[in-house]
Amino acid sequence: MAVFASAVVAAGAATGVVAAAGGDGERGAARPGTDASTVLEPLPAVPVPSVSVPVTVSPSAAPSPSPSARRATAPAAPKPPAPRAGTPGALYRHPRSQVLDWVDAHRDDPRRPLIESRIAAQPAAVWFPSYNPGTVTRQVRNVTSAAAAAGRTPVLVPYAIPGRDCGGASEGGAPGPAAYDAWMADFAAGLGSGPVIVILEPDAVALSDCLSAAQRAGRFASLARAARTLHAAGPRTKVYFDGGHSGWHSAAKQAAALREAGAASDGDGIFTNVSNFHSTADETAYARKVLAALGGEDLGAVIDTSRNGNGAPKAGQWCDPAGRALGRTPTTDTGRAGIDAYLWVKLPGESDGCKGSAGSFTPGYAYELATGG
């Protein structure tokens, strides 16, 4: 089976995409790595269009070949009911990102109007790829409080799982499970009481075959604890677990791993296609199969549609492949049963490392995506 990695961010000030290896050999999506993109406050790196937050830059990702719920409430008072993923048009667009910086600095560039209207104007995920205890609470709160003030729902991507990227280009993360638990508690402390969507650790489940049985069990236990921590701190927070994508593992295999990781008991659903290119139709069908196998009637799925407008490229083409296009714009109004949202988790135009340095915003590539290749 072809295996593409998802997208992930690397720690530090960097932007970009990286693909992790694994599976039957096909390289997949780019994930945010360590290069740098957005600026704000010492926020994490973010790989997305107008939504970004990194410490110095926005998205992150490094080029590296790689395969790309409703939770069980903890013993406490039940959380107030909330819509599955917010309301139509309610997603938050962070005011700083590489693409916005480029737009501001290139007002006379003939490509600017299209890139600005089709990419920079869209809401996107904010990545937190640095293991930075003591700092991450403020970084998260800065995003969630601004989103709450705007009446919008932010999409946050914690990316600090120990052994991240199996030693690939986006390697890093917390030094161990206890440290990760503490970091996640700090992260959760910044969530607030408003609606938040959390994309929990891209590739952490789908790319876990590189781990020993003990390491894998430890990682899955960490993910389950993380989801419980997030829900306990954020009464309207929704947590989605790594579902890989339709070109990677079978639905049955992915569902089995997700069950071990607590997705059915501690999560709100799954996410698929992060930093990849598979069509929305393929991902919808795949996500529904995974959810059916997972057995959670109340679970939903969110799909990364940032670069899937023309579907997946030929096998083996994962690094800034030609002929790709922007996909459905971010929304929580999908009109599809079981599909909670279409999101831009990967920022279109941030290079996988071929048309520009990994994680850097590359206007030529962004223009190609905006015009459909």
Place of tokens 């939770």: 71
Distance of alpha carbon 161 from the chain centroid: 13
Cα–Cα distance measured from residue 139 to residue 345, given in angstroms and rounded to the nearest whole number: 18
Provide the token pair at 104.
């501001």
Could you tell me the CA-to-CA distances from 291 to 10, 58, 285, 341 in Å, in that order? Answer: 29, 32, 10, 15
Provide the token pair at 5.
């990695």
| Candidates 101, 186, 268, 352; catalytic one | 352
Collapsing DSSP to helix, strand or coil, 167 comes out as helix
Active site residue 203: yes
Contact 10, 33 (CB under 8 A): yes
Contact 286, 294 (CB under 8 A): no
| Candidates 101, 165, 186, 282; catalytic one | 165
| Candidates 203, 266, 304, 340; catalytic one | 203
Provide the token pair at 91.
């997603």
Q: Residue 38's CB: how many other CB atoms inside 10 A?
A: 36
Provide the sign of the torsion angle of the four alpha carbons 356, 361, 363, 365, taken in this order: positive
Place of tokens 């995974």: 290
Provide the token pair at 203.
């590739």
User: How much helix, strand and coil, in percent to the nearest 5, is found in the chain?
Assistant: 30, 10, 60
Active site residue 352: yes
Active site residue 209: no
Active site residues: 165, 203, 352
